[in-house]
């Protein structure tokens, strides 16, 4: 091998990766060593990022979809000059270090999206590329390419096997996202050994079937030029995303190169010495970056800084020629919502007609569509049911289709829930757009792999989940969520919302948009619901609130969404029997948990029996209530009234449960302290 700087730089990555993983005594050396040439090529010749300003808006995006190879990414960030020191590399996988076991957005500078769960990164990248296309179409003007960055992905066999990726890359082909370039680390190895055991499809043909350009690099270990040429070719193709299939050797340089062994465990100390010797490094030195390599990257950093400086000049000129657009651009990039946007939220009074909350959600989205232009929404092929599309919406489609435009803000995801969620994560991560997406609540768990990452990585993604209970009726148990809200509530850093009427629907959107650091799941009814006495938008900010107050009530009835009206009717029944009933609506339980002890006791007074009503699992309600009206089995197919009657989610049964509870506590001589009442 010619000892050019480039070769030395590649071998620096390889030896450093071996050291970093060995230092942690845990991790994945094989992929970083195999992918070193493609990473070197991408970051030295193509990817424009500025380590001094990691959030520069038009930077190229890089996603390591095989996130377990993150030693590679940390090393590249270090070399590029991001805030990842050699010391940080030495703390790889140590607690609270900047270099955790998988890349975490928001934790380590320069990480665009959190990866590791396979298939997510490449799907996020589709969202990043969509966001570039959408913002480019929205803001660019002739001579002013404000948004024209590329999105690069490295991915492995694992990502290609995951269904979420299959869904997302099919959409990328449909959308003709020409600025999306994926480098496939084709090393013929997975954890179970040779890919021959389970992955024998023709990947090239498959990607061509999706409308991708596919290029092949035969020797990704040594032929750096071929890699660069392929990337050039990918950039030249502007109407198709490109997959570059690069044949590599996992753990290249190790005595066990090409074997599964080097995938998920450190190389032995001896093997590392061998690697270093092979690549002309001192076998007795660790964590070495030759000065010429540092110099090489310092030069690249200068070039990069210049590129951003030029872009800043361009934006300055843009500001003069297009002051309105420039002001909007500035606002978007600052992540600020338009002044007074919340005034557009519709308000209701009890005399307004009964409407399904999914329909009320449509009203909110319609009202916000002009006021909050960064909203970009869609549905997984349930537009007419989720009611996610405002009337004037333009579809996000390649202009050649005649079905929409790239500056369209309505996204047709097809029947691809998991990809929709992962793409929304990518859109949110890009900055400048707020994604929302709809499906039936029951199908939230088709894509939970992505939803959990919305929460882990603090992304403002809005899940518009309609048909949110057995109230969907005839479609039956396969479509009726039972366990779903318990899942969301059990998950940190995500709001679980279930509005009861129009004001609460507005309130839920208020909270979802205000919270720019977490996702929200809004559960919405299929069936019509009355506008409630006592409901209001701002009260939703407390998560739970008193709808009808009583001094020293005999019992509290707490409910969410479509069951609040049932609780209100149950209260009437109980009042007829002389009981004082306080009714409580709990649209966002997790937000209620954040309130003061005093406030919580005002909603759930001590020594007062509480019954909750929710037409989903009762699991978890024991925090707030002593007895639960809800589901303990799967649902059933039938007209909504019959289904509610079958499972006794009715005012009559609620009233009976309340009376029994009051009696029981009289008998045992205590009203037990509720978990939510403890300080």
Hey, which residues are catalytic here? Answer: 417
- Range 453-512, binding a second copy (CB under 8 A): 453, 455-456, 473-479, 482-483, 486-487, 489-493
Q: Which two tokens stand for residue 408?
A: 């369209």
Q: Which residue from 73, 115, 242, 560 is in contact with a second copy, where contact means CB under 8 A?
A: 115
Contact 380, 417 (CB under 8 A): yes
C-beta closer to a second copy: residue 157 or 221: 157
Contact 92, 74 (CB under 8 A): yes
476 labeled part of a ligand binding site: no
For residue 291, the number of C-alpha atoms closer than 13 Å in the C-beta half-sphere is 0
C-beta closer to a second copy: residue 125 or 419: 419
C-beta closer to a second copy: residue 239 or 310: 239
Is 157 a residue that touches a second copy (CB under 8 A)? yes
Which of 70, 79, 151 minimizes the C-alpha distance to 108? 70
Q: Which residue from 19, 60, 88, 104 is in contact with a second copy, where contact means CB under 8 A?
A: 104
Contact 628, 658 (CB under 8 A): no
Which of 451, 590, 518 minimizes the C-alpha distance to 106? 518
Q: Which two tokens stand for residue 307?
A: 């590129």
68 labeled part of a ligand binding site: yes
Gyration radius from the chain CA atoms: 28
Give the integer Cα–Cα distance in Å for 510 and 533.
20
Site string for a second copy, 242-281 (x = CB under 8 A): ----------------------------------------
Is 191 a residue that touches a second copy (CB under 8 A)? yes
- Range 117-176, binding Ca ion (CB under 5 A): 156-157
Q: Which residue is nearest to Ca ion (CB)?
A: 157
Partner whose binding site includes residue 187, from Ca ion, a second copy, none (CB under 5 to 8 Å by kind): Ca ion
Cβ neighbours, 10 Å, residue 440: 24
Site string for a second copy, 60-79 (x = CB under 8 A): -------xx-----------
Site string for a second copy, 20-59 (x = CB under 8 A): ----x-xx--------------------------------
Contact 485, 617 (CB under 8 A): yes
Q: Smallest distance from the beta carbon of 187 to Ca ion, in angstroms?
A: 5
Is 417 a residue that touches Ca ion (CB under 5 A)? no
- Partners of 556 in beta bridges: 582, 610
- Range 586-625, binding a second copy (CB under 8 A): 617, 619-620, 622-623
Site string for a second copy, 537-576 (x = CB under 8 A): ----------------------------------------
Q: Smallest distance from the beta carbon of 378 to Ca ion, in angstroms?
A: 19
Q: What are residue 678's phi and psi, to 5 degrees?
A: -80, 140
Q: Which two tokens stand for residue 581?
A: 């009933």
Site string for Ca ion, 179-198 (x = CB under 5 A): --------x-x---------
28 labeled part of a ligand binding site: yes
CA 669, chain centre distance (Å): 48
Q: Looking at residue 496, what DSSP letter applies?
A: E
C-beta closer to a second copy: residue 113 or 539: 113
Name the one range near a second copy by CB under 8 A: 98-106, 124-132, 145-153, 234-242: 98-106
- Which H/E stretch holds residue 262? helix 261-264
Evaluate the CA torsion angle 499, 505, 507, 509 in order and state its sign. Answer: positive
Output the CA–CA distances (angstroms, integers) from residue 567 to 174, 472, 524, in the order listed. Answer: 47, 19, 18
Give the integer Cα–Cα distance in Å for 636 and 644.
10
Give the integer Cα–Cα distance in Å for 516 and 435.
12
Q: Which residue from 171, 180, 244, 293 is in contact with a second copy, where contact means CB under 8 A?
A: 171
Kindly report the length of the chain.
679
Write out the binding residues for substrate.
Answer: 28, 263, 358, 385, 467, 475, 479, 526
Could you list the residues known to form a binding site, using ranges: 28, 68, 116-118, 157-158, 187, 189, 263, 358, 385, 443, 467, 475, 479, 526
For Ca ion, the binding residues (CB under 5 A) are: 156-157, 187, 189
């Amino acid at each position: 091998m010619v000892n050019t700087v480039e070769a030395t730089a590649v071998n620096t990555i390889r030896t450093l990766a071996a050291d970093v993983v060995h230092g942690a005594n845990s991790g994945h050396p094989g992929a970083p060593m195999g992918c070193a040439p493609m990473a070197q090529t991408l970051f030295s010749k193509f990817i424009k990022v500025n380590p001094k300003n990691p959030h520069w808006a038009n930077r190229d995006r890089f996603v390591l979809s095989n996130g377990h190879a993150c030693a590679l990414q940390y090393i590249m960030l270090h070399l590029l000059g991001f805030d990842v020191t050699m010391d940080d590399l030495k703390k790889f996988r140590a607690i609270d270090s900047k270099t955790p076991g998988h890349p975490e957005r928001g934790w380590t500078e320069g990480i665009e999206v959190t990866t590791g769960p396979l298939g997510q990164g490449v799907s996020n990248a589709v969202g990043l590329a969509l966001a570039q296309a959408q913002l480019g179409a929205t803001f660019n003007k002739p001579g002013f390419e404000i948004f024209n960055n590329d999105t690069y992905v490295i991915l492995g066999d694992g990502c290609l096997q995951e269904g979420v990726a299959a869904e997302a890359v099919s959409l990328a082909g449909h959308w003709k996202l020409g600025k999306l370039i994926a480098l496939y680390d084709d090393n013929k190895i997975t954890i179970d050994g040779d890919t021959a055991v389970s992955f024998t499809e023709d990947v090239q043909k498959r990607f061509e079937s999706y409308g991708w350009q596919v290029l092949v690099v035969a020797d990704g270990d040594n032929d750096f030029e071929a890699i660069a040429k392929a990337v050039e070719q990918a950039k030249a193709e502007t109407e198709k995303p490109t997959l570059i299939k690069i044949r590599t050797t996992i753990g290249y340089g190790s005595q066990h190169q090409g074997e599964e062994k080097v995938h998920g465990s450190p190389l032995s100390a001896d093997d590392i010495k061998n690697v270093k010797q092979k690549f002309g490094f001192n076998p007795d030195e660790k964590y070495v970056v030759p000065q010429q390599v540092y110099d090489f990257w310092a030069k690249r950093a200068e070039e990069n800084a210049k590129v951003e400086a030029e872009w800043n000049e361009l934006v300055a000129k843009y500001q003069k020629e297009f002051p309105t657009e420039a002001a909007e651009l500035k606002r978007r990039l600052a992540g600020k919502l338009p002044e007074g946007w919340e005034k557009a939220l519709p308000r209701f009074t009890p005399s307004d007609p009964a409407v399904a909350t999914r329909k009320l959600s449509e009203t909110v989205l319609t009202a916000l569509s002009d006021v909050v232009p960064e909203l970009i929404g869609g549905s997984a092929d349930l537009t007419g049911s989720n009611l996610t599309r405002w009337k004037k919406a333009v579809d996000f489609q390649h202009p050649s289709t005649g079905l929409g435009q790239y500056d369209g803000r309505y996204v047709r995801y097809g029947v691809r829930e998991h990809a929709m969620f992962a793409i929304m994560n990518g859109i949110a991560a890009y900055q400048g757009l707020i994604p929302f997406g709809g499906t039936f609540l029951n199908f939230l768990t088709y894509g939970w792999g992505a939803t959990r990452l919305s929460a882990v990585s603090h992304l403002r993604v809005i899940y518009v989940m309609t048909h949110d209970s057995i109230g969907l009726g005839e479609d039956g148990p396969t479509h009726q969520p039972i366990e779903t809200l318990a899942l969301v509530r059990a998950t940190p850093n995500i709001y679980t919302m279930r509005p009861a009427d129009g004001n609460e629907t507005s309130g839920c959107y208020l909270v979802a948009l205000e919270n720019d650091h977490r996702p929200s799941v809004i559960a919405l009814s299929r069936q019509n619901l009355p506008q409630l006495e006592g409901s209001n938008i701002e009260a939703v900010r407390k998560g739970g609130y008193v709808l009808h107050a009583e001094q020293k009530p005999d019992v509290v009835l707490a409910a969410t969404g479509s069951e609040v009206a049932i609780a209100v009717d149950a209260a009437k029944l109980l009042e007829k029997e002389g009981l004082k009933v306080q009714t409580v609506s709990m649209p966002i339980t997790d937000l209620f948990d954040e309130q003061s002890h005093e406030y919580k006791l005002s909603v759930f007074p001590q020594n007062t029996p509480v019954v909750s009503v929710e037409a989903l699992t009762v699991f978890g309600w024991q925090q707030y209530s002593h007895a639960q009206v809800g589901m303990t089995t799967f649902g059933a197919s039938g007209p909504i009234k019959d289904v509610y009657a079958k499972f006794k989610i009715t005012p009559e049964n609620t009233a009976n449960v309340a009376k029994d509870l009051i009696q029981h506590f009289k008998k045992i001589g205590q009203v037990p302290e509720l978990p939510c009442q403890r300080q």
